[in-house]
Structure 1
């Protein structure tokens, strides 16, 4: 059922990306996906199945691309979002230290403690581990497409819907906002999901890493980040999508952004950035995008922590923040071009 949004609010976005840009000569592309699945059915432990790959395209554009790195992950998430099992490739010493960790705001610190240097190295494995927090939180949305009353029941059980640790979570869940007032009236706010564009690259087998087989009920997070050098800058084109599948097999986008950025190649400061919201669940979600200007001039190497310290509460979309935090990897990816 389409969302009925008041006239004073922006209409739901409907700009899901179709296709992925061609790989440019002399560029590096990182792609990553995490599938959120329940092998034994809803109500049993969640499994996160992650894959990531870094790929360099030669400057002449003619030779075979070079795989710079890859990673795989399978993590089992139990009650209260606690990691009960994890296997990764590569499997660094200390990875088992994440077992028993709650996949919330403290997970990223636990990753640093268990795997010192992994974040600073900006490895494909770290991308997957860092996304355990976000993917374990949103995974249940996939089930609501199969059990329509589930979201309403989940929202009713959440006493502080839109608030975490006493702070507003994001622009879309603002106090007195559309989602909040609709829920307070006893109605289901729904989500402005949209048909997801096909981002596969049938004409380029190297365009994305191979996606895993998925069960019918599944949610998937997609990430792509392309970097290349232009004069004294690193030019970035990136993409982020959370999507799920309907019982009829059609794919729906829930959160989707494109971000274009320019980073000073020497100072590693952010020269320019533009965030384009494509699909978001609530009307006020898109109001966060212009606030990306607040991080211009900051050092991208520190974005894993500084983005969420700078863009908070009504200024932020947590999914956009996740995407912007990924810009911390840009200098390491660009170093492969030297």
Structure 2
């Protein structure tokens, strides 16, 4: 394991909820209860909460998703959700990485347009699962000689800023045949004193990976402000939690046109020296509509000026349109 990670400063707190605002929080926990090389149980939870003007609160939506994945084959073995959906079982047997989002669109028509928490949990699953492979490399004892392992078909040169052909990661991969990993900074606690600041979720066990998101939406004069926080973290076999990826996106939206006015990404922690270049891609949201943002990012936010995980954070902002309906 290396310590080449881009040294920024991970978040140490969660902002206070603003009167009239709506906050969505989600977590995806990738667990390996039967061993590092066994199946992955992915438990995802989320909630939409409005903070009332008088300080009260209203739960607008909440969901839970549990998926068992044959990790070597990336195949869904079992899936359940609350709230349930009659066609969810159609996802059993599909690839949980490549093509999963298309399978969700076919099995659950209209789910994306709903802007529901359940859809966000499903939509974030493929890359949360992809990142969970970090736990295997981090948790295995060092070998006398590296043993090359095939990398995912979703990972290739110039995929993103971190995977640029001449970059640190690809150079080491070329030299050793092994995808390197980078040890990040300690993960500060971000759960606030406010018990409603985040939805309820279980402590992360050893060798677990957690993807957490927070999306705050509130009115500020004639604009709507948006803050999207994202962190991937890993808990070692010794119980130490470190940050793998972290961004916070700050944006403004014109509520009349429902288009982005401004957008910028703040780096918390990234694994490779080349990764920070991708933060500038968040500025490309300016002028884009909320509707169809997931498809727009997938089509046009590609290559070495972007980041797969920042892209997912930007894609999640499409649901600002649904949350805006509930902002006071």
Q: TM-score range by the shorter chain?
A: over 0.9
Contact in 1 for aligned 2:205/2:239 (Cα 8 Å): no
Q: Which residue of the partner structure matches residue 104 of structure 2?
A: 111
Match among 87, 92, 101 for residue 94 of structure 1: 87
Report deviation, 1:264.
1.2
Match among 117, 140, 147 for residue 147 of structure 1: 140
Aligned: 1:279 with 2:257: no
Report the aligned-residue RMSD. 2.1
Aligned: 1:73 with 2:65: yes
Provide Cα deviations, 1:187-210, integer angstroms capped at 9, x if missing partner: 874314111111011x21100011
Moved over 4 A (4+): 152-156, 159-162
Alignment partners' CA distance in 2, 1:250 and 1:318: 25
Report deviation, 1:179.
1.0
TM-score norm. by structure 1 comes to 0.90
Report deviation, 1:311.
1.2
Contact in 1 for aligned 2:146/2:176 (Cα 8 Å): no
Provide Cα deviations, 1:246-290, integer angstroms capped at 9, x if missing partner: 222121000100110011112111110010111111111110111
Report deviation, 1:148.
4.5
SS in 2 for 1:254: strand
**68-77 or 39-48: bigger deviation:** 39-48
Provide Cα deviations, 1:39-58, integer angstroms capped at 9, x if missing partner: 22222211100100000000
SS in 2 for 1:307: helix
Match among 208, 212, 217 for residue 198 of structure 2: 208
Query: How many residues are paired up?
Result: 325
TM-score norm. by structure 2 comes to 0.93
Alignment partners' CA distance in 2, 1:222 and 1:155: 31
Q: Which residue of the partner structure matches residue 318 of structure 1?
A: 308
Structure 2 CA distance for partners of 1:2 and 1:119, relative to 1, 3 Å: same
Structure 2 CA distance for partners of 1:154 and 1:102, relative to 1, 3 Å: farther
Q: Which residue of the partner structure matches residue 326 of structure 2?
A: 336
- What are the ranges of 5 or more consecutive residues in structure 1 without an aligned counterpart? 5-10
- What are the ranges of 5 or more consecutive residues in structure 2 without an aligned counterpart? none
Q: Which residue of the partner structure matches residue 198 of structure 1?
A: 189
Structure 2 CA distance for partners of 1:31 and 1:154, relative to 1, 3 Å: farther
Q: Which residue of the partner structure matches residue 237 of structure 1?
A: 227
Contact in 1 for aligned 2:204/2:235 (Cα 8 Å): no
